[in-house]
Amino acid sequence: MKKNLGVVPAVYPMPVLMVAAYDENGKVNVMNAAWGMICGMDKIALFIDEDHKTTQNIHQVKAFTVSIADKEHMDVADFFGIATGNKMEDKFERTGYQATKSEFVNAPIIEEFPVVMECELVEVVDTDNLYAIVGKIVNTAAEERVLSENGKIDPAKLSALIFDQFQSGYYVSGEKVGQAWNAGAGLMKQS
């Protein structure tokens, strides 16, 4: 029997995404965003408030990067979610992390995070019920240490952080338990 919990955003897992953008002067800002998802083979949607410094920067510069946070960099990833660039001028500098300019878009790549999607702003969705930044992914780059033999990102090597909306915890992904588009294939057969 299930117990009623009231209104709970009961989606798990949630990604821990590092969204980075330059301001109009080329200053780096990074935020932690758990409410984001792929919305097309070359699109990502970020459900972030418009008052974030990073969101304001995206509006101005029309480009951003999205990195996947990993276990090794959890402390800084969490800091990027606690601190606000609207009140802390040296937010990025405090971390000691390095940023390089993307060769594809006018946005910073945070070198410490192992996977990054480089995006152009293509749409802002602003309705009574939804505010989203939609980006076109123009390149994805990954550290070789997180790639498998076939040259694709290996979740077991990535140690990607997962946000727990229920208890506000971080977890690590990695254990493969089945193959997509195969695990349920047996149910496709008629008796």
Instruction: Reduce the secondary structure of the chain to three states and give it as a string.
Output: CCCCCCCCCCCCCEECEEEEEECCCCCEEEEEECCEEEEECCEEEECCCCCCHHHHHHHHHCEEEEEECEHHHHHHHHHHHHCCCCCCCCHHHHHCCCEEECCCCCCEEECCCCEEEEEEEEEEEECCCCEEEEEEEEEEEECHHHECCCCCECHHHHCEEEEECCCCEEEECCCCCCCCCCCCHHHHCCC
At 188, the pLDDT band (50, 70, 90 cuts) reads confident
pLDDT of residue 175: 81
Interval 109-162: pLDDT, tens: 999 999 999 999 999 999 999 999 999 999 999 999 999 999 999 999 999 999
Please check the confidence at residue 185 and state whether its pLDDT lies above 90.
Answer: no
Mean model confidence pLDDT for the chain: 94
At 190, the pLDDT band (50, 70, 90 cuts) reads low
**Structural domains of the chain, with CATH:** 14-188 (2.30.110.10)
Determine the average pLDDT of the residues in 30-59.
95
Identify which has the larger pLDDT, 10 or 134.
134
At 191, the pLDDT band (50, 70, 90 cuts) reads low
Q: Which of 76-80, 89-93, 170-174 has the least mean pLDDT?
A: 170-174
